[in-house]
Structure 1
Amino acid sequence: MNRHIGVLDSGIGGLTVVKELQRQLPGEDIVYFGDNRNCPYGNRSEEEILSLTMDMLEFMKSEGVKIVAIACNTISTLIDSYKDKYDFPIIDIIRPTVDHIINMNTYNIAIIATEFTIKTGAYEKQLLKKNSDINIINEGSKLLAGLVDAGKFDDSQTKEVIETHINNMSAKGDLYNLVLGCTHFPIVEDVFLSLAPELNIINPAFQQAKAIRQYLHKENLLNDKEQGSLDIYTSGDTEVYSKVIERLNLKNIKGITTHNVNKAAI
C-alpha cells in the first residue's frame, strides 16, 4: 500500500519517531509536520492543543495518509477527543509505551515529560490500571522541550535543566528506569546519560514505531519499496530541522517546507 505514514508533533521532537520508523520500516514513505510556530504544546491549554492538533490532522487528511503517528506525548493525552473523527487509524505514543513497561515487570518507573502530560496523569493512570503496585516518579519540565526545539542540544542551559530534573527525581526515589515522555527529549538522550550513565532510558518513539509496524503488517498495508522517502513540513523555522536530521541521521529527505496549517494564530 504505497501511501504515506503521517507523523505529527508540536515541533522537531517527532523526528525521533521518524528515526525509529525508518529503522523498522525502511520502505515506507513518511510525511512529517512539526508545528514549531506554536511549540511547546505542553504549556498550552487543552482547548488550544486540540485546535492545533485538528489543524495538523486535516493536513494529514489532505496528504492522503494511510495512518498517523501522534509523535507527541502531550497531544497523545487527548487522543480520545479526536481518534474517531478520521477514516485513517491514529496511533498515540503513550499506550504502546505503557504496554512495554508492564511487560518489563518492573515496580519502579520514572517519567519526565512536559508539565501538561504530567498534570493529565496519562502514563500514571494507565500504568496503575494494569499494575496497582508500580511506584511512579513524575517530573514535569516547563523548559526542556522549548530548549530542544530551539536547537540548543548541547547548550549549558539545557544541561543545567536536565541536571536539575535528574536531581529532583533522584530525591523522590529509585531512579533507574526513566521514560523520556516527550519526543523532544531523546534528541538530548546523550546529555541525560552523560549526567547519569546508570539510567535505563525508555524511548517511547521505539515503542510507537513498533506498534505501527505491527498494525500495517496485520492490515496488509506495508509499502513494497526498498527505500522510502521523507517529506518534512513545519509552521516554523526550517534551519533547526537540518540540525536534527544530522543528529538523528535521518535518510532520503525530499524537502523541508515551511507551511502553516493553523486556521488562526494561537
Structure 2
Amino acid sequence: MVESEKKTIRTNRRAPRPVPPEAYADAYALAQQVLQRSLSQSEAEKILTARYDLGDRVALGYIGNYLSMKHGGPKVRSTIAADGWRFLLDQFEREGALALQRALSVLWEHIEYLAGPEPKLRKVHADYIGKLAQHIEGDPAATLAEQVAASLKGGDEARAQRLDVAPAYPESVLVARRAFRRNADVIAEVLVQAAGICQGCRLEAPFKRPDGTPYLEVHHRQPLAEGGSDTVENAIALCPNCHRERHYGAGYRDREYS
C-alpha cells in the first residue's frame, strides 16, 4: 500500500464521538428488546449507531455489556463511559442485590482486562460495592431464630394466617458474615486427643465420616468472636448434639467439661 493510501485511511478514521447521556437509556431500551427477542443484538447495535452517529464498537459496548451483566457472559471487550456504567448499574440495583453483584463482577473483569489504572471505572466499582453492602443481610440463622421465637409467642391463629399466604419457595439473599481463618492443626490435634469420644457427653461419636474417622466438631470454650484464642487449650471436641447445646442450650457456659 502506498503512503498516500495509508494517509487517506488514517484521515477517514475519526475519533469516537462522545456518547450523550440520552443514549444510555436508549441503549438500555434496545437491550430490553434483545432480551425479549423482538430485535437481534446486531440490529439493536445498528439502530443505536445510526441514532447517535457512534464510532466503531461503541454500540456493542453499551448493549453488549448490559447483556453480559444480565447473564454473566459472554464477555464484551468494548468499554463504555464511566457514567454509562453507572446508568446500567442503577438498573441492576433496582433488580436486587444478586443482580447487582453479578453486574459488578462483569465490570471488575472488564477493568482487569483493560490492564490500566482505569481510575474512573474503579471509582464506579467501589461506589456500587458500597451500595451492594447496603442490600446484604446479616447472619440469616440468627435472624431466623429470632423470627421463630416471635412466631411461637404470636399464637397459632396468626401463624396459620401467615402460612396461608406465604410463598412456597424462599427468597435468595446475599449474606455478610465475619469469619476467622482457623488453624487446621489445632482442629486436628483436638480431634486426635479426643480419640472419637465426645468431650461433652463422653459417648462415642454418633457416626463416621466417609474416610472412616469418627465425626466430632471442634468448639472453642471461649468464642473467637469474644477474644478467645485459637489454641488446643481453648478447644474441645463435641458431638453435634453437645455442640448445639453449647451454642443454644440454657446455661451451657456454666457447665464444666474436662
TM-score (norm 1): 0.22
TM-score (norm 2): 0.22
Which is helix-richer, 1 or 2?
2
Q: Which has the higher contact order (CA 8 A, sep 6+)?
A: 1
Which is strand-richer, 1 or 2?
1
